[in-house]
Structure 1
């Protein structure tokens, strides 16, 4: 395979990146300063849409879900289409006093942008937008169409991505979830299960009159490790963790009639929701007394976007793209050349929208600035140098991935 990015082109891309660096960073700062919780993304969507139109994308609009979609048309219908995807929403900021800087101030200090969403994933979104702009600056036209998509409600299951997949199918997707400028090619899936132990309520002064389901819950949690878990040669073993517990009571002097525990099961290929539910139910029944009933469900997530589109989501899908897949090999060679260092590939610990795209036949990888360890924490931040490197990397990937099988 010949060199995908030659030294001359590499220097041109970096020079163009330096020229756009401050503008791109200021845009990332604006994004962080625009609060956009799941279901409340309208303001940031309009901000991104306005920037795409100002920058001269061939097309830019909102879809029915409220996702932002920008298009840079390629030179040929024979080229592969590539989607650079990031999400518009972020998790709640929690206690602002716990942050080094106010979470929505977008403070830049010592070469770092701080704030909620900086690493997850507004910094990457800014880099993706301007990565395609670099091609225009240099008069370069990718072989296939390139898209920038900012999707809604990723943090609550991926309603935006699910809606987008119904009408936009690209050959390749490059996710902006944090990778520390490395490659990612998959992650485990997620199944949420609710386990209910149903007893009989009574006054706490007369426990013999009731059937306390908390004892069954206690036995169940102590035996949780007995549940069979799958394994994968690259992803390792699946995991299950109890995360939430609640009862049907709010008074401390009442024995509850029902106690519910939520299990977060991170799945590997070969594990499906129905089989997991059956295994959990068997264990729960073994831990229940004769008078305690058991119900185990896999709730379907029902969401409505800020534009009113209602979507019911399946459990989060995991995926694995092989290390020798043509998209992975071309991306690796491209990034090795443009970043002038070896770029390893691995897997995310958390889940992404990638499972939606893979389920619709789109080969999906991840490349982004930001570190996983900062996501969902009060340390959410991103290095400015990494934003610049990601911008140049995205421009290079747009050129090489759209060439299709030429480099495979």
Structure 2
């Protein structure tokens, strides 16, 4: 591999040093930026077998991914994460350079500190600590790290999981290290995610002069009626474990800047976050029904759907209990088991095995001055260490009063 990444820290059980090195890699999607090179070198030193896989698809950037496995037999635990980050924006607006990993007053600054190089560093260091204290008699851990989570999500986790399946790799459980906590470390884990469906609706009338409306057909009144039909009545009342689905109109555009022209077309864009009352297909049917019922005669509509992701709920109480025990044993706090928030790569993982998500506090992710308390990185590492030990020993590792 190209030696473009920072030097691998000498002490891999120190998650802060590893996180600083990862942040120094400018791995803005889809660039690898040296982050996977660094991670590969660290994991090989710990005894992992590492493979790098690049996927391509027309119209999307090529993406590098990493799969690394240690141990033998079962249980087989997967850790899914990503080293790609969103762009930092104007670096001059940051307190410290976005790829510096500076520690200031107990806070570690840098793009990806929270989302989610911090989770990756904590998990690797947790494995390093288990290696130092004695690996369980049986059990495997596989890291599945993508460079496409913050991008289109096409050449990353979804394809890597298919690649693993084609090689006979089966997983008993998975942990996704996305930032899940709201206010403090230990307050929330994710046991599911709402689905997401986006639509772009074209509403077509007939362009004309604003002084002669009888010679045109204005699509704007139709747009207003359709918007009311989409949002005027609830999609559902929620379900067990999920809040009610919500549809948000995010854009309305005619492309028309003239005051004396009736537009011939208006584009309405919307996004739906939906619970397990629906599938993306059944939701599409309901939205089309509402659109067609509200569309006046003489108006034509066309719709395009983008990036549907299904809602899911992890109905694995043992996995949730194991994580809760690890969190409570370190923080003394019982995490809420939630399905709130946006989507993550857990939507792909859940097709292959039970999955739970737990990571850092997400209050600064994607922001200028993204940062994490150094103490939280250490705490998360210890939670991960306890969790991995318990999974690999069938729950016979360190336990605490449960959740």
Same topology, TM > 0.5: yes
Superposed displacement of residue 91, structure 1:
2.5
- 2:174 aligned residue: 173
1:40-55 paired onto structure 2 within 5 Å:
40-41=31-32, 43-53=34-44, 55=45
Structure 1 gap segments, 5+ residues each: 1-18, 302-314
1:345-371 CA-to-partner distances (Å, cap 9, x unmatched) read 3334121111211112x11011212x2
Counterpart position of 1:292: 299
Number of residue pairs matched? 367
2:179, 2:358 within 8 Å by CA — same for their partners in 1? yes
**Contact 2:230–2:291 at 8 Å: present in 1 too?**
no
Unaligned runs of 5+ in 2: 1-10, 56-63, 165-169
Instruction: Map 1:80-119 to 2 at 5 A.
Output: 80-119=75-114
For 1:246 and 1:260, how far apart are their aligned partners in 2?
5
Aligned to 2:7: none
When normalised by structure 1's length, the TM-score is: 0.81
Partner residue in 2 for 1:319: 312
Between the two structures, name the one with larger relative contact order (CA 8 Å, sep ≥ 6): 1
In the TM superposition, residue 290 of structure 1 has moved relative to its aligned partner by 2.3
Aligned pairs for 1:148-297 (under 5 A) are 148-156=143-151, 158-159=153-154, 160-168=156-164, 169-180=170-181, 181-182=185-186, 183-202=189-208, 208-230=214-236, 231-247=238-254, 249=255, 251-252=257-258, 255-297=262-304
SS in 1 for 2:150: helix
283 and 40 in structure 1: CA distance in 2 versus 1, 3 angstrom threshold: same
Judging changes above 3 Å, is the alpha-carbon distance between structure 1 residues 244 and 30 closer, same or farther for their aligned structure 2 residues? farther
Aligned counterpart, 1:380: 370
Specify the SS of the correspondent of 1:91.
coil
Q: Counterpart of 1:310? A: none
| 8 Å CA contact 2:16, 2:374 repeated in 1 | yes
Partner of 1:400: 390
**Structure 1 residues 255 and 107: CA distance shift in structure 2, 3 A:** farther
1:193 and 1:277 in contact (8 A); partners too? no
Give the Cα–Cα distance (whole angstroms) in 2 for the partners of residues 44 and 20 of structure 1: 15
Instruction: Say which SS state the counterpart of residue 154 (structure 1) adopts.
Output: coil
1:71 corresponds to which residue?
69
SS of match in other structure, 2:116 = helix
**CA spacing shift, 1:217–1:92, aligned 2, 3 Å:** farther
Matched, 1:328 2:328: no
